[in-house]
Amino acid sequence: MKITIQTNKNLRKKADFLILSFSYTSKKTKPLFKGDSFKSIIKEPINTKDFLGKAKDISLVYSSKNKEKRVLLLGLGSEKELNEYNLCEAYASAISFLKNKKASSVNIIIPNIDMEKDVLVKGVVEAIYLANYNFDKYKFVTKKNLFSIKEVCLIGLEKRDNHLVKKASIISQGVNLTRDLVNTNADDETPQTLAKLAKDFEKISNKVKVEVFDKKRIEKENMNLLLAVNKGSNKDPVFIIVKYKGDPSSKDSSVIIGKGITYDTGGLSLKPSTSMDTMKSDMSGGASILGSIYAIIKLNLKVNVTAIVPATENAIGPKSYKPGDVYVSACNRSVEVKNTDAEGRLILAEALSYASHKIKPNRVIDLASLTGACVVALGEEISALFSNDRTLAKQLIKASNKTGDHLWRLPLFPEYKKLLKSEIADISNVGGRGAGTITAALFLQEFVDKVSWAHIDIAGPAFKSTLSALHPTYATGAGVRLLVNFFENLK
Ligand code: BES
Ligand code: ZN
Protein backbone atom coordinates (compact mmCIF):
# COMPACT_ATOMS: atom_id res chain seq x y z
CA MET A 1 0.00 0.00 0.00
CA LYS A 2 1.18 3.48 -0.84
CA ILE A 3 0.62 6.62 1.23
CA THR A 4 1.24 10.00 -0.39
CA ILE A 5 0.84 13.62 0.68
CA GLN A 6 -0.98 16.49 -1.04
CA THR A 7 -0.76 19.91 0.57
CA ASN A 8 -3.40 21.69 -1.50
CA LYS A 9 -6.79 19.99 -1.38
CA ASN A 10 -7.80 21.49 -4.72
CA LEU A 11 -4.94 19.67 -6.42
CA ARG A 12 -5.81 16.23 -5.09
CA LYS A 13 -6.23 13.36 -7.54
CA LYS A 14 -9.47 11.47 -8.05
CA ALA A 15 -10.10 8.56 -5.68
CA ASP A 16 -12.82 6.05 -4.84
CA PHE A 17 -13.58 7.65 -1.49
CA LEU A 18 -12.94 10.78 0.56
CA ILE A 19 -12.85 10.77 4.38
CA LEU A 20 -13.97 13.94 6.16
CA SER A 21 -13.82 14.12 9.95
CA PHE A 22 -15.98 15.82 12.55
CA SER A 23 -15.99 16.33 16.29
CA TYR A 24 -18.95 16.19 18.63
CA THR A 25 -18.48 18.46 21.62
CA SER A 26 -21.31 19.74 23.89
CA LYS A 27 -23.88 18.25 21.49
CA LYS A 28 -22.47 20.20 18.53
CA THR A 29 -21.22 18.64 15.31
CA LYS A 30 -18.19 20.48 13.99
CA PRO A 31 -16.37 19.87 10.69
CA LEU A 32 -12.64 19.46 11.30
CA PHE A 33 -11.58 20.95 7.97
CA LYS A 34 -11.41 24.44 6.56
CA GLY A 35 -13.37 25.98 3.68
CA ASP A 36 -16.84 25.62 2.25
CA SER A 37 -16.19 23.23 -0.60
CA PHE A 38 -18.01 20.32 1.05
CA LYS A 39 -20.89 22.37 2.47
CA SER A 40 -23.58 20.96 0.22
CA ILE A 41 -22.47 17.35 0.85
CA ILE A 42 -22.51 17.51 4.63
CA LYS A 43 -25.55 19.76 5.13
CA GLU A 44 -28.32 17.16 5.19
CA PRO A 45 -26.68 14.41 7.26
CA ILE A 46 -25.89 17.01 9.95
CA ASN A 47 -29.20 18.90 9.84
CA THR A 48 -31.20 15.69 10.08
CA LYS A 49 -28.88 14.55 12.92
CA ASP A 50 -28.41 11.30 11.06
CA PHE A 51 -24.72 11.98 11.56
CA LEU A 52 -23.53 13.42 14.88
CA GLY A 53 -19.78 12.97 14.85
CA LYS A 54 -19.50 10.86 17.98
CA ALA A 55 -16.38 8.70 18.11
CA LYS A 56 -16.47 6.12 15.28
CA ASP A 57 -19.78 7.43 13.83
CA ILE A 58 -19.82 6.73 10.12
CA SER A 59 -22.10 8.02 7.34
CA LEU A 60 -21.67 7.51 3.64
CA VAL A 61 -22.86 10.27 1.31
CA TYR A 62 -22.78 10.53 -2.47
CA SER A 63 -21.80 13.40 -4.68
CA SER A 64 -21.60 13.45 -8.44
CA LYS A 65 -19.68 16.75 -8.53
CA ASN A 66 -16.88 15.76 -6.20
CA LYS A 67 -13.50 14.27 -7.22
CA GLU A 68 -14.58 11.32 -5.11
CA LYS A 69 -18.11 10.12 -5.78
CA ARG A 70 -18.42 8.66 -2.30
CA VAL A 71 -17.65 10.64 0.85
CA LEU A 72 -17.35 9.05 4.26
CA LEU A 73 -18.16 11.26 7.23
CA LEU A 74 -16.19 10.09 10.26
CA GLY A 75 -16.84 11.07 13.86
CA LEU A 76 -13.86 11.62 16.16
CA GLY A 77 -16.02 12.40 19.23
CA SER A 78 -15.27 15.06 21.82
CA GLU A 79 -12.26 17.20 20.90
CA LYS A 80 -11.19 17.38 24.54
CA GLU A 81 -10.95 13.61 24.83
CA LEU A 82 -9.09 13.09 21.56
CA ASN A 83 -5.69 11.48 21.80
CA GLU A 84 -3.44 9.45 19.52
CA TYR A 85 -5.07 6.25 20.69
CA ASN A 86 -8.76 7.00 20.11
CA LEU A 87 -7.95 8.95 16.96
CA CYS A 88 -6.29 5.80 15.66
CA GLU A 89 -9.32 3.69 16.64
CA ALA A 90 -11.73 6.06 14.85
CA TYR A 91 -9.72 6.08 11.62
CA ALA A 92 -9.36 2.31 11.84
CA SER A 93 -13.14 1.95 11.80
CA ALA A 94 -13.32 4.13 8.67
CA ILE A 95 -10.55 2.17 6.92
CA SER A 96 -12.16 -1.14 7.85
CA PHE A 97 -15.50 0.09 6.47
CA LEU A 98 -13.91 1.18 3.17
CA LYS A 99 -11.89 -2.02 2.87
CA ASN A 100 -15.16 -3.94 2.96
CA LYS A 101 -16.57 -1.59 0.31
CA LYS A 102 -13.66 -2.73 -1.90
CA ALA A 103 -12.10 0.74 -1.97
CA SER A 104 -8.85 0.86 -3.89
CA SER A 105 -7.94 4.53 -3.45
CA VAL A 106 -8.87 6.85 -0.57
CA ASN A 107 -8.28 10.56 0.03
CA ILE A 108 -8.20 11.71 3.64
CA ILE A 109 -8.42 15.35 4.67
CA ILE A 110 -6.20 15.53 7.74
CA PRO A 111 -8.32 16.90 10.63
CA ASN A 112 -7.62 20.39 11.83
CA ILE A 113 -7.35 19.67 15.55
CA ASP A 114 -5.32 20.77 18.53
CA MET A 115 -2.87 17.91 18.50
CA GLU A 116 0.86 17.75 17.84
CA LYS A 117 1.56 17.00 14.20
CA ASP A 118 3.64 13.89 14.86
CA VAL A 119 0.96 12.42 17.15
CA LEU A 120 -1.77 13.20 14.64
CA VAL A 121 0.06 11.68 11.68
CA LYS A 122 1.06 8.64 13.71
CA GLY A 123 -2.54 7.97 14.77
CA VAL A 124 -3.92 8.22 11.23
CA VAL A 125 -1.12 6.33 9.47
CA GLU A 126 -1.04 3.48 11.99
CA ALA A 127 -4.82 3.16 11.66
CA ILE A 128 -4.45 2.83 7.88
CA TYR A 129 -1.80 0.11 8.01
CA LEU A 130 -3.19 -1.84 10.97
CA ALA A 131 -6.82 -1.86 9.80
CA ASN A 132 -5.84 -2.63 6.20
CA TYR A 133 -3.97 -5.76 7.32
CA ASN A 134 -5.03 -9.14 5.93
CA PHE A 135 -3.53 -12.56 6.53
CA ASP A 136 -4.14 -14.58 3.38
CA LYS A 137 -1.38 -17.20 3.55
CA TYR A 138 -3.91 -19.98 4.10
CA LYS A 139 -6.78 -18.54 2.04
CA PHE A 140 -7.27 -20.16 -1.34
CA VAL A 141 -10.86 -20.34 -2.61
CA THR A 142 -11.94 -17.48 -0.33
CA LYS A 143 -8.94 -15.25 -1.04
CA LYS A 144 -11.11 -13.23 -3.39
CA ASN A 145 -13.24 -12.11 -0.43
CA LEU A 146 -10.29 -10.27 1.12
CA PHE A 147 -9.79 -6.68 0.06
CA SER A 148 -7.23 -4.07 0.87
CA ILE A 149 -6.84 -0.41 0.02
CA LYS A 150 -3.99 0.20 -2.41
CA GLU A 151 -3.47 3.95 -2.23
CA VAL A 152 -4.12 6.63 0.39
CA CYS A 153 -3.48 10.34 -0.05
CA LEU A 154 -3.21 12.50 3.07
CA ILE A 155 -4.45 15.96 2.22
CA GLY A 156 -3.32 19.03 4.12
CA LEU A 157 0.12 17.85 5.22
CA GLU A 158 3.33 19.54 4.08
CA LYS A 159 6.09 17.82 2.11
CA ARG A 160 8.31 18.05 5.20
CA ASP A 161 5.80 15.91 7.13
CA ASN A 162 6.73 12.97 4.94
CA HIS A 163 9.22 11.68 7.52
CA LEU A 164 6.37 11.42 10.05
CA VAL A 165 4.42 9.25 7.62
CA LYS A 166 7.52 7.14 7.04
CA LYS A 167 8.09 6.70 10.78
CA ALA A 168 4.54 5.56 11.42
CA SER A 169 4.73 3.23 8.40
CA ILE A 170 7.82 1.51 9.83
CA ILE A 171 6.20 1.01 13.24
CA SER A 172 3.12 -0.45 11.52
CA GLN A 173 5.33 -2.77 9.47
CA GLY A 174 6.82 -4.00 12.76
CA VAL A 175 3.33 -4.69 14.12
CA ASN A 176 2.23 -6.46 10.94
CA LEU A 177 5.41 -8.54 10.83
CA THR A 178 4.62 -9.71 14.37
CA ARG A 179 1.03 -10.51 13.35
CA ASP A 180 2.26 -12.58 10.39
CA LEU A 181 4.61 -14.59 12.61
CA VAL A 182 1.91 -15.29 15.18
CA ASN A 183 -0.81 -16.13 12.64
CA THR A 184 1.41 -18.65 10.85
CA ASN A 185 1.21 -22.41 11.56
CA ALA A 186 3.70 -23.67 14.13
CA ASP A 187 5.20 -26.03 11.56
CA ASP A 188 5.72 -23.16 9.11
CA GLU A 189 7.12 -20.77 11.72
CA THR A 190 9.66 -22.78 13.68
CA PRO A 191 12.56 -21.82 15.96
CA GLN A 192 14.75 -22.16 12.85
CA THR A 193 12.67 -19.82 10.66
CA LEU A 194 12.56 -17.25 13.47
CA ALA A 195 16.36 -17.45 13.65
CA LYS A 196 16.64 -16.98 9.89
CA LEU A 197 14.38 -13.94 10.02
CA ALA A 198 16.50 -12.44 12.82
CA LYS A 199 19.73 -13.18 10.94
CA ASP A 200 18.40 -11.17 7.98
CA PHE A 201 18.14 -8.06 10.18
CA GLU A 202 21.91 -7.73 9.67
CA LYS A 203 21.15 -6.78 6.07
CA ILE A 204 19.10 -3.74 7.14
CA SER A 205 21.87 -1.92 8.99
CA ASN A 206 25.55 -2.29 9.79
CA LYS A 207 24.72 -1.38 13.38
CA VAL A 208 23.21 -4.87 13.78
CA LYS A 209 24.96 -8.11 14.75
CA VAL A 210 22.99 -11.32 15.12
CA GLU A 211 24.10 -14.43 16.93
CA VAL A 212 22.05 -17.62 16.99
CA PHE A 213 22.94 -20.29 19.54
CA ASP A 214 22.10 -23.73 18.15
CA LYS A 215 21.43 -26.80 20.32
CA LYS A 216 25.14 -27.58 20.73
CA ARG A 217 25.92 -24.06 21.88
CA ILE A 218 22.88 -24.04 24.18
CA GLU A 219 24.24 -27.26 25.75
CA LYS A 220 27.65 -25.63 26.14
CA GLU A 221 26.01 -22.66 27.87
CA ASN A 222 24.28 -25.09 30.25
CA MET A 223 20.84 -23.66 29.49
CA ASN A 224 19.27 -26.85 30.77
CA LEU A 225 15.82 -25.36 31.35
CA LEU A 226 15.53 -24.50 27.65
CA LEU A 227 16.86 -27.95 26.73
CA ALA A 228 14.36 -29.61 29.07
CA VAL A 229 11.38 -27.89 27.45
CA ASN A 230 12.76 -28.84 24.03
CA LYS A 231 13.10 -32.57 24.80
CA GLY A 232 9.74 -33.63 23.36
CA SER A 233 10.18 -31.69 20.13
CA ASN A 234 11.41 -32.88 16.73
CA LYS A 235 12.93 -29.42 16.15
CA ASP A 236 16.06 -28.10 17.86
CA PRO A 237 15.83 -25.08 20.15
CA VAL A 238 17.49 -21.77 19.30
CA PHE A 239 18.60 -18.83 21.40
CA ILE A 240 18.46 -15.73 19.19
CA ILE A 241 20.47 -12.61 20.06
CA VAL A 242 20.05 -9.45 17.92
CA LYS A 243 22.43 -6.66 18.98
CA TYR A 244 21.63 -3.17 17.75
CA LYS A 245 24.10 -0.41 18.57
CA GLY A 246 22.29 2.77 17.60
CA ASP A 247 24.27 4.98 19.98
CA PRO A 248 27.89 3.81 20.16
CA SER A 249 28.89 6.90 22.15
CA SER A 250 26.56 5.94 25.01
CA LYS A 251 27.14 3.31 27.67
CA ASP A 252 23.40 2.94 28.25
CA SER A 253 21.92 -0.31 26.98
CA SER A 254 18.71 -2.33 27.21
CA VAL A 255 17.77 -5.95 26.67
CA ILE A 256 14.33 -6.99 25.45
CA ILE A 257 13.35 -10.65 25.73
CA GLY A 258 10.40 -12.51 24.23
CA LYS A 259 8.97 -15.95 24.94
CA GLY A 260 9.33 -18.05 21.81
CA ILE A 261 7.30 -21.21 22.41
CA THR A 262 6.34 -21.94 18.81
CA TYR A 263 3.68 -24.39 19.99
CA ASP A 264 2.52 -25.18 23.52
CA THR A 265 0.86 -28.56 23.93
CA GLY A 266 1.52 -28.33 27.67
CA GLY A 267 3.90 -31.29 27.36
CA LEU A 268 3.07 -34.33 29.51
CA SER A 269 0.94 -32.03 31.68
CA LEU A 270 -1.13 -31.97 28.50
CA LYS A 271 -3.53 -29.12 27.85
CA PRO A 272 -7.20 -29.89 27.21
CA SER A 273 -7.86 -29.55 23.46
CA THR A 274 -10.04 -26.46 23.88
CA SER A 275 -7.10 -24.65 25.51
CA MET A 276 -4.57 -25.88 22.97
CA ASP A 277 -6.10 -24.64 19.73
CA THR A 278 -4.67 -21.12 20.13
CA MET A 279 -1.24 -22.22 21.24
CA LYS A 280 0.63 -21.50 18.01
CA SER A 281 0.44 -17.99 19.48
CA ASP A 282 2.69 -18.89 22.40
CA MET A 283 5.63 -17.29 20.62
CA SER A 284 3.83 -13.93 20.52
CA GLY A 285 6.28 -12.42 23.02
CA GLY A 286 9.19 -13.44 20.81
CA ALA A 287 7.36 -12.24 17.70
CA SER A 288 6.71 -8.85 19.33
CA ILE A 289 10.38 -8.57 20.27
CA LEU A 290 11.41 -9.32 16.67
CA GLY A 291 8.80 -6.85 15.31
CA SER A 292 10.01 -4.20 17.77
CA ILE A 293 13.72 -4.59 17.07
CA TYR A 294 12.95 -4.57 13.32
CA ALA A 295 11.20 -1.19 13.73
CA ILE A 296 13.90 0.15 16.07
CA ILE A 297 16.59 -0.74 13.49
CA LYS A 298 14.62 0.69 10.54
CA LEU A 299 13.91 3.90 12.49
CA ASN A 300 17.62 4.14 13.23
CA LEU A 301 16.80 5.04 16.85
CA LYS A 302 19.68 6.41 18.91
CA VAL A 303 19.59 3.62 21.50
CA ASN A 304 21.51 0.43 22.24
CA VAL A 305 19.15 -2.53 22.40
CA THR A 306 19.74 -6.27 22.41
CA ALA A 307 16.77 -8.48 21.56
CA ILE A 308 16.77 -12.06 22.83
CA VAL A 309 14.35 -14.80 21.83
CA PRO A 310 14.72 -18.28 23.31
CA ALA A 311 12.62 -20.50 21.04
CA THR A 312 11.38 -24.08 21.10
CA GLU A 313 8.22 -26.09 20.82
CA ASN A 314 6.73 -27.52 24.02
CA ALA A 315 5.76 -30.83 22.43
CA ILE A 316 4.67 -34.19 23.75
CA GLY A 317 6.46 -37.44 22.92
CA PRO A 318 8.56 -40.27 24.33
CA LYS A 319 11.45 -37.90 25.06
CA SER A 320 9.36 -35.19 26.77
CA TYR A 321 10.53 -33.81 30.09
CA LYS A 322 8.46 -35.11 32.96
CA PRO A 323 6.45 -33.56 35.78
CA GLY A 324 8.44 -34.02 38.99
CA ASP A 325 11.85 -33.85 37.27
CA VAL A 326 14.50 -31.43 38.50
CA TYR A 327 16.69 -29.42 36.10
CA VAL A 328 19.56 -27.06 36.87
CA SER A 329 19.73 -23.71 35.03
CA ALA A 330 22.87 -22.09 33.60
CA CYS A 331 23.03 -19.87 36.69
CA ASN A 332 23.13 -22.97 38.88
CA ARG A 333 19.63 -22.80 40.28
CA SER A 334 17.68 -26.04 40.39
CA VAL A 335 14.01 -26.10 39.41
CA GLU A 336 11.46 -28.76 40.22
CA VAL A 337 9.19 -28.98 37.18
CA LYS A 338 5.89 -29.75 38.83
CA ASN A 339 3.99 -28.86 35.69
CA THR A 340 5.44 -29.08 32.16
CA ASP A 341 2.82 -26.58 30.97
CA ALA A 342 4.56 -23.83 32.95
CA GLU A 343 7.36 -23.93 30.37
CA GLY A 344 7.51 -20.25 29.35
CA ARG A 345 9.07 -19.21 32.64
CA LEU A 346 11.72 -21.92 32.24
CA ILE A 347 13.03 -20.69 28.90
CA LEU A 348 12.70 -17.06 30.01
CA ALA A 349 14.68 -17.83 33.16
CA GLU A 350 17.67 -18.81 31.01
CA ALA A 351 17.32 -15.65 28.90
CA LEU A 352 16.91 -13.38 31.93
CA SER A 353 19.95 -14.77 33.70
CA TYR A 354 21.99 -14.66 30.47
CA ALA A 355 21.01 -10.98 30.07
CA SER A 356 21.71 -9.96 33.64
CA HIS A 357 24.95 -11.94 34.11
CA LYS A 358 26.53 -11.84 30.64
CA ILE A 359 25.23 -8.62 29.08
CA LYS A 360 24.69 -6.54 32.24
CA PRO A 361 22.46 -3.87 30.65
CA ASN A 362 20.81 -0.91 32.37
CA ARG A 363 17.38 -2.49 32.02
CA VAL A 364 15.69 -5.69 30.90
CA ILE A 365 12.12 -5.94 29.62
CA ASP A 366 10.49 -9.27 28.84
CA LEU A 367 7.25 -9.95 26.97
CA ALA A 368 5.47 -13.28 27.25
CA SER A 369 2.12 -14.98 26.82
CA LEU A 370 2.84 -16.46 30.20
CA THR A 371 -0.33 -17.28 32.12
CA GLY A 372 -3.98 -18.11 31.49
CA ALA A 373 -4.58 -16.51 34.89
CA CYS A 374 -3.66 -13.14 33.36
CA VAL A 375 -6.48 -13.48 30.81
CA VAL A 376 -8.88 -14.27 33.67
CA ALA A 377 -7.69 -11.24 35.67
CA LEU A 378 -7.32 -8.59 32.97
CA GLY A 379 -9.06 -9.95 29.86
CA GLU A 380 -8.00 -9.45 26.26
CA GLU A 381 -7.47 -5.68 26.34
CA ILE A 382 -4.89 -5.33 29.10
CA SER A 383 -1.46 -6.82 29.70
CA ALA A 384 -0.03 -7.21 33.20
CA LEU A 385 3.07 -5.22 34.07
CA PHE A 386 5.49 -6.17 36.83
CA SER A 387 8.64 -4.26 37.68
CA ASN A 388 11.27 -4.00 40.38
CA ASP A 389 11.91 -0.39 39.28
CA ARG A 390 9.41 2.42 39.75
CA THR A 391 10.91 4.63 37.03
CA LEU A 392 10.90 1.87 34.44
CA ALA A 393 7.28 1.00 35.28
CA LYS A 394 6.31 4.67 34.95
CA GLN A 395 8.02 5.00 31.56
CA LEU A 396 6.27 1.88 30.29
CA ILE A 397 2.87 3.02 31.51
CA LYS A 398 3.43 6.35 29.76
CA ALA A 399 4.18 4.52 26.52
CA SER A 400 1.11 2.36 27.11
CA ASN A 401 -1.16 5.41 27.45
CA LYS A 402 0.22 6.88 24.24
CA THR A 403 -0.10 3.77 22.11
CA GLY A 404 -3.15 1.89 23.34
CA ASP A 405 -1.07 -1.19 24.22
CA HIS A 406 -2.75 -1.15 27.63
CA LEU A 407 -0.85 -2.11 30.78
CA TRP A 408 -1.92 -2.56 34.38
CA ARG A 409 0.70 -2.93 37.07
CA LEU A 410 0.45 -5.89 39.43
CA PRO A 411 2.56 -6.41 42.57
CA LEU A 412 5.66 -8.57 42.94
CA PHE A 413 4.22 -9.47 46.35
CA PRO A 414 7.20 -11.01 48.23
CA GLU A 415 5.00 -13.01 50.63
CA TYR A 416 3.88 -15.18 47.71
CA LYS A 417 7.43 -16.38 47.09
CA LYS A 418 6.82 -19.17 49.58
CA LEU A 419 4.27 -20.63 47.18
CA LEU A 420 7.18 -21.51 44.87
CA LYS A 421 9.00 -23.52 47.56
CA SER A 422 10.22 -26.97 46.56
CA GLU A 423 11.17 -29.82 48.88
CA ILE A 424 13.82 -31.19 46.57
CA ALA A 425 15.03 -28.23 44.48
CA ASP A 426 15.80 -24.51 44.91
CA ILE A 427 12.45 -23.51 43.47
CA SER A 428 9.30 -25.02 41.95
CA ASN A 429 8.02 -23.86 38.55
CA VAL A 430 4.41 -23.49 39.75
CA GLY A 431 2.85 -21.87 42.79
CA GLY A 432 -0.61 -23.39 43.15
CA ARG A 433 -4.04 -22.15 42.12
CA GLY A 434 -4.08 -18.57 43.43
CA ALA A 435 -2.37 -15.49 41.93
CA GLY A 436 -0.92 -17.45 39.01
CA THR A 437 0.22 -14.37 37.12
CA ILE A 438 2.04 -13.03 40.18
CA THR A 439 3.76 -16.31 41.10
CA ALA A 440 4.93 -16.64 37.47
CA ALA A 441 6.46 -13.16 37.69
CA LEU A 442 8.03 -13.97 41.08
CA PHE A 443 9.60 -17.07 39.52
CA LEU A 444 11.15 -14.90 36.77
CA GLN A 445 12.40 -12.38 39.33
CA GLU A 446 14.60 -15.08 40.87
CA PHE A 447 16.64 -15.06 37.64
CA VAL A 448 17.09 -11.33 37.03
CA ASP A 449 19.68 -10.56 39.69
CA LYS A 450 19.90 -6.86 40.57
CA VAL A 451 19.19 -5.37 37.19
CA SER A 452 16.27 -3.01 36.62
CA TRP A 453 13.57 -5.24 35.09
CA ALA A 454 10.01 -5.27 33.81
CA HIS A 455 7.91 -8.27 32.87
CA ILE A 456 4.82 -7.90 30.67
CA ASP A 457 2.33 -10.77 30.48
CA ILE A 458 0.61 -10.32 27.10
CA ALA A 459 -1.43 -13.57 27.28
CA GLY A 460 -4.73 -11.68 26.72
CA PRO A 461 -4.02 -8.97 24.13
CA ALA A 462 -1.53 -10.87 21.90
CA PHE A 463 -4.10 -13.20 20.37
CA LYS A 464 -7.71 -12.11 20.75
CA SER A 465 -10.80 -14.20 20.30
CA THR A 466 -12.78 -11.20 19.02
CA LEU A 467 -11.76 -9.17 16.00
CA SER A 468 -12.02 -5.39 15.62
CA ALA A 469 -11.33 -2.72 13.00
CA LEU A 470 -7.84 -2.05 14.34
CA HIS A 471 -7.11 -5.74 14.90
CA PRO A 472 -8.71 -7.60 11.98
CA THR A 473 -7.03 -10.96 12.75
CA TYR A 474 -6.52 -12.91 15.98
CA ALA A 475 -2.86 -11.89 16.24
CA THR A 476 -2.64 -8.22 17.19
CA GLY A 477 1.08 -7.47 17.42
CA ALA A 478 0.57 -6.26 21.02
CA GLY A 479 3.71 -4.80 22.55
CA VAL A 480 5.42 -3.51 19.40
CA ARG A 481 3.99 0.02 19.47
CA LEU A 482 4.56 0.05 23.24
CA LEU A 483 8.25 -0.87 23.04
CA VAL A 484 9.02 1.39 20.08
CA ASN A 485 7.38 4.32 21.85
CA PHE A 486 9.31 3.47 25.03
CA PHE A 487 12.63 3.52 23.17
CA GLU A 488 11.73 6.66 21.20
CA ASN A 489 11.34 8.47 24.51
CA LEU A 490 14.18 6.88 26.45
CA LYS A 491 16.49 9.64 27.59
N1 BES B 1 0.87 -20.57 27.08
C2 BES B 1 0.36 -20.64 28.38
C3 BES B 1 -0.30 -19.36 28.87
C4 BES B 1 -1.50 -18.89 28.09
C5 BES B 1 -2.77 -19.35 28.39
C6 BES B 1 -1.35 -17.94 27.10
C7 BES B 1 -3.86 -18.87 27.69
C8 BES B 1 -2.45 -17.47 26.39
C9 BES B 1 -3.71 -17.93 26.69
C10 BES B 1 1.43 -21.05 29.39
O11 BES B 1 2.54 -21.69 28.91
C12 BES B 1 0.72 -21.97 30.33
O13 BES B 1 0.32 -22.99 29.89
N14 BES B 1 0.60 -21.57 31.58
C15 BES B 1 -0.09 -22.34 32.54
C16 BES B 1 0.64 -22.22 33.86
C17 BES B 1 0.14 -23.14 34.93
C18 BES B 1 0.46 -24.57 34.58
C19 BES B 1 0.77 -22.75 36.22
C20 BES B 1 -1.51 -21.80 32.66
O21 BES B 1 -1.69 -20.59 32.59
O22 BES B 1 -2.44 -22.59 32.78
ZN1 ZN C 1 2.30 -23.87 28.83
Cβ–Cβ under 8 Å, residues 235 and 195? no
Q: Locate CATH 3.40.630.10 in the chain.
A: 171-488
pLDDT digits (tens, 9 = 90+) for 128-171: 999 999 999 999 999 999 999 999 999 999 999 999 999 999 99
What's the whole-number mean pLDDT along residues 6-21? 97
- Please give the distance of CA 85 from its chain centroid, rounded to a whole number: 14
Distance CA 349, CA 239 (A): 12
CA distances from 322 to 116, 267, 270 (A): 56, 8, 11
Q: Please confirm, yes or no, whether 70 is among the known catalytic residues.
A: no
Atom number of ligand 1 nearest to Cα 343? 11
pLDDT digits (tens, 9 = 90+) for 75-100: 999 999 999 899 999 999 999 999 99
467: Cβ–Cβ under 8 A, 6 or more apart, which residues? 473, 474
Distance CA 74, CA 30 (A): 11
Q: Is the pLDDT of residue 345 over 80?
A: yes
Catalytic residue of the set 345, 363, 464, 481: 345
Q: Which of 337, 370, 437, 443 to mutate to test the pocket of ligand 1 (most atoms within 8 A of CB)?
A: 370
Q: How confident is the model at residue 180 (pLDDT cuts 50, 70, 90)?
A: very high
Q: Which of 341, 378, 383, 433 to mutate to test the pocket of ligand 1 (most atoms within 8 A of CB)?
A: 341
Cβ–Cβ under 8 Å, residues 38 and 52? no
Distance CA 145, CA 350 (A): 45
Distance CA 174, CA 157 (A): 24
Q: How confident is the model at residue 19 (pLDDT cuts 50, 70, 90)?
A: very high
Atom number of ligand 1 nearest to Cα 279? 1
- pTM (2 decimals)? 0.98
* SS3 annotation, 343-411: CHHHHHHHHHHHHHHHHCCCEEEEEECCCHHHHHHHCCCCEEEEECCHHHHHHHHHHHHHHCCCEEECC
CATH architecture of 171-488: 3-Layer(aba) Sandwich (3.40)
The candidate with the shortest Cα–Cα distance to 359, out of 203, 487, 242, 206, is 242
The CATH T-level fold of domain 2-158 is Leucine Aminopeptidase, subunit E; domain 1 (3.40.220)
Atom number of ligand 1 nearest to Cα 282? 1
Catalytic residue of the set 70, 271, 333, 409: 271
Q: Locate CATH 3.40.220.10 in the chain.
A: 2-158
Cβ of 373 closer than 6 Å to ligand 1, yes or no, is: yes
In angstroms, what is the span from residue 343 Cα to ligand 1's centroid? Answer: 8
Q: Please confirm, yes or no, whether 122 is among the known catalytic residues.
A: no
Q: Report the chain's C-alpha Rg in angstroms.
A: 24
Which pLDDT value is given to residue 202? 98
Cβ of 436 closer than 6 Å to ligand 1, yes or no, is: yes
